[in-house]
A = this chain, B = another copy of it.
Amino acid sequence: MNHASRIVNFSSGPAVLPETVLNDIQNELLNYQETGMSILEMHHRSENVSQILCEISSDLKSLLKLSDDFEILFIPGGASFQFVLIPMNLLTGHQRASYINTGRWSERAINEARRFGFVDIIYDAKAADHRFYHVPTPDQLFFPADSRYIYLTSNNTVMGTQYHVYPIAPKGIPLVADMSSDILSKEIPSDQFGIVFAGAQKNLGAAGLSIVIIRKEILSACNDTTPSVFNYKTIASYGSRYNTPPVFQLYLTHKIVKWTCQVGGIKEMSRRNLEKSALIYGILDEDSLFWNNRVDPGSRSTMNIVWDMPSEELRMLFLQLAEREGMVGLA
């Protein structure tokens, strides 16, 4: 298609995919690598799909500098399913988990976790400033010794906040991070984490798949009462194919991960995000009263920049002008 007819999509949902990836998918849609089959018809235990899974794992391990202590799981459904699977695997009725509440996604995770055990909200950004305008710094956090795990949301799409320094959990208590909206956007200190998970639709492909990066030592501690299809240990022992994974999303993630490596890896992704976000924050800061970005500068997200206009009229005008320039999803 004509490049000019592709719009600029600012939607808070799925991200824009690289056009080269879309072209690839289009070209091989009826015949994946001369197999005579569409990837949509491919069996999840076929050699082609095995290779896709294997290559995503090894590329992610190299991009994120993960040691062999980690296993990568591929699970149907988005991050919201992991809001349930984390406590379902790690928490039982009499145990406690610590959650840091920084906005809509952590709130949802907290609500699901409460069905499985006791939740300690060890930091509530809303209580601190009434509006979730920041994420806590490490010195603002205290970790109860009896926590099964500590949970945070790395980047908060709705609030426009992001951790730039991650807390260090006490030895033996895994730090669990929902990185759905900033995975692959910057380097992470992987040795600080027990579990890092992400729905694929923001930075790893399309809705319908989650990637769960988990320490092998946590796998063996998963609750035996967890249903097989949701049990991290079972999923790992079957190479993410105890049941059928969403093959098309795996195929897309494979392409996105390869593309990320090709354009220069995390270093380049991080550079692009810093550059783009600095440009926009620069404009917002020039007239901060007008643009009304209220996020604490130390917690500003390089992924999602949130601002508002001084009046409803100006808001509508701005959105109209943007749409005329081919920019949608800004609201």
Q: Which residues of A pack against B, CB within 8 Å?
A: 1, 5-7, 9, 11-17, 19, 22-23, 25-26, 29-31, 35-38, 40-46, 76-78, 80-81, 83-84, 88, 108, 111-112, 115, 199, 201, 205-209, 225, 227-230, 242-249, 252, 326, 329
Q: Which among B19, B30, B40, B244 is the interface contact of A199 at CB below 8 angstroms?
A: B244
Q: Min CB distance, A328 to chain B, in Å?
A: 8
Q: Which among B14, B45, B111, B229 is the interface contact of A13 at CB below 8 angstroms?
A: B45
Residue contact A17 to B1, C-beta cutoff 8 Å: no
Q: Which among B15, B77, B248 is the interface contact of A248 at CB below 8 angstroms?
A: B248
Q: What's the number of copies of this chain in the assembled complex?
A: 2
Residue contact A229 to B80, C-beta cutoff 8 Å: yes
Q: Which chain B positions have C-beta within 8 A of A201?
A: 244
In the complex formed, the residue of B with least CB distance to A1 is B30
Residue contact A81 to B115, C-beta cutoff 8 Å: no
Most-contacted residue by chain B among A11, A88, A209 (CB, 10 A): A11
Residue contact A246 to B208, C-beta cutoff 8 Å: yes
Q: Min CB distance, A82 to chain B, in Å?
A: 10
- Once A245-B207, A248-B208 are accepted as A-B contacts, the answer to whether A41 and B17 lie under 8 Å apart by CB is yes
Residue contact B246 to A84, C-beta cutoff 8 Å: no
CA A31 to CA B2, docked complex, whole Å: 10
